[in-house]
Amino acid sequence: MDLFYASVNVPDDSCCNNDSHSFKHVKITKRRVHFHEFMLDVHHRIFVYKQKHPRDDAIPIIAQQLAQEAQLLCFDEFQVTDVADAMILKRLFLLLLDWNVVVVATSNRSPDALYEGGINRSLFLPFIDMLKHTFDIISMEDSAKDYRLETRADGQSYFWSNKDVHGVNNSDNNMQAQLKEIFGGTASGTEAEAIRVPFGRTIQVARLNDRCAWFDFSELCYQPLGAADYISLCDRFQVLIMDQVPQLDANHLDEARRFVTLIDVCYESRTRLVLAAKVPLDELFVEFEVQVESSDGNEELFVSEKGGNSSSFATTMIRTKEGDQFEWSATGRSGVSLAQLSAANDLVFSFRRAASRLVEMGGKEWGRQ
């Protein structure tokens, strides 16, 4: 996407005549944006517009604004995981096409797999049909090579504590010393800084200096944070240190999903992410398989883990948004929704990409200069 975007030249208005042929050069406006950031921008525009016009339809106005700002929109990591985004996109894309905006997008999903298993997905299907009939769909699945894994991970961005057979930690002190060296000098003041997030929220950062912030995993991934929060942190800091990172499996669905989002945002912004974990990188993400079976009107969800230190068929728990705990085990669990199945399967897919990105982000040259 970066190569394509850079290759689209923007004509200079001063370039005009060529002897007998006169060409009117129209300046092409273009915008390249990660899809997370694009949707945050759209939601913010809706919010601002509704403040002044609470009863009016904001989408046509926003489509016009976007069309006036860029004739070429390049989306990286196009994905749909939220019912509100799904409904907005269906209308917004049709309106952008009416305004003759050219849209180029990369995605880890084929059009038919977008928002798969999502709530009220039937309302989103016309958008998928529109994509398939209006856009040129190019599959790159034949390219099985992951070039990110060829990166030499020599940037000292991933640490893990090595315990001996007696459970004694021999490397914790050394690891903390290395993190402190990366962190560098302390802030001029000792008070926490409140980082502003769109829509009036803030994130409290207790350990920081001019270029780096230091967090425990629980501070960023056990809290109800999302892409907007992580983007704000990456805008403020060149380096993020995260300590106490656990092995991530089906026991940590919500936390793992936030962690993957954080990795995506750091990757997009080229923010250096330094991790101190409890297991080696190749064991950080435990892949698992999820399937659902229906009988007598009840849905039963089955989970089996494969790989990593937690790869036994032990009981696994999933926590819903309402805070209820459901047991996932070899005997299944009645009453688990297809939406939860979709979210779990999406996370399995995201694990592989996140692990690959962490390898590339561990390179010595990674990060903003």
Whether residue 310 has pLDDT greater than 90:
no
Reported as a pLDDT band with limits 50, 70 and 90, residue 32 is very high
What residues does CATH 3.40.50 cover in the chain? 2-134
Whether residue 242 has pLDDT greater than 90:
yes
Residue 215's DSSP bridge partners are: 242
Reported as a pLDDT band with limits 50, 70 and 90, residue 311 is very low
Look at residue 125 in the predicted model and tell me its pLDDT: 87
Selected residue with higher pLDDT from 314 and 266: 266
Look at residue 49 in the predicted model and tell me its pLDDT: 94
Q: Which of 249, 243, 297, 298 is nearest to 275 (CA)?
A: 243
> CA–CA separation, 103 vs 97, rounded Å?
8
Look at residue 309 in the predicted model and tell me its pLDDT: 34
For 111-115, 221-225, 307-311, which range has the lowest pLDDT when averaged over its residues?
307-311
Cβ-contact 170, 163 below 8 angstroms: yes
One-letter amino acid at 266 equals C
Whether residue 218 has pLDDT greater than 90:
yes
For 2-11, 18-27, 87-96, 194-203, which range has the lowest pLDDT when averaged over its residues?
18-27
For 97-101, 127-131, 362-366, which range has the lowest pLDDT when averaged over its residues?
362-366
Concatenated DSSP letters for 211-259? SEEEEEHHHHHSSS--HHHHHHHHHH-SEEEEEEEPPBSGGGHHHHHHH
Look at residue 11 in the predicted model and tell me its pLDDT: 62
**Tokens 């007598």 -> residue:** 296
Reported as a pLDDT band with limits 50, 70 and 90, residue 316 is very low
Look at residue 185 in the predicted model and tell me its pLDDT: 66
- The burial class, CB within 10 Å (0-12 / 13-18 / 19+), for 229 is buried
Residue pLDDT, tens place only, 75-85: 888 888 777 88
Looking at the chain, the whole-number percentage of residues with pLDDT higher than 70 is 70
Three-state secondary-structure class, residue 358: helix
Whether residue 296 has pLDDT greater than 90:
no
Look at residue 332 in the predicted model and tell me its pLDDT: 37
Selected residue with higher pLDDT from 323 and 86: 86
CATH class entry, domain 2-134: alpha beta
Average pLDDT over residues 208-236: 92
Average pLDDT over residues 157-165: 70
For 110-124, 161-175, 197-211, 280-294, which range has the lowest pLDDT when averaged over its residues?
161-175
DSSP, res 323: S
Look at residue 84 in the predicted model and tell me its pLDDT: 80
DSSP, res 312: S
